[in-house]
Amino acid sequence: MTSHQAQHVTTVHQRTPEQAGAASASLLTRLVARLTADRLDRDIAVGVPAPPGSALAVHAARLTSRRERETIARALRQLLHDATATGPLMSSRIPLNVANIVAAADLIDRIALHLHSPRPVAPRGMARLRLILSDGRGPLYRYGRGDLRGRLGAALAEL
Q: Using the 8-state DSSP alphabet, how is residue 131 labeled?
A: H
At CB < 8 A and 24+ separation, what contacts does 92-100 make? 94/136, 94/141, 94/142, 94/143, 95/141, 95/142, 95/143, 96/140, 96/141, 96/142, 97/139, 97/140, 97/141, 97/142, 97/144, 97/148, 98/142, 100/139, 100/140, 100/148, 100/149
Domain boundary assignment for the chain: 24-157
pLDDT in 10s for each residue of the chain, 159 residues: 444 444 444 344 455 555 555 566 799 999 999 999 999 999 999 999 999 999 999 999 999 999 999 999 999 999 999 998 876 656 667 899 999 999 999 999 999 999 999 999 999 999 999 999 999 999 999 999 999 999 999 999 999
What is this structure's pTM?
A: 0.83
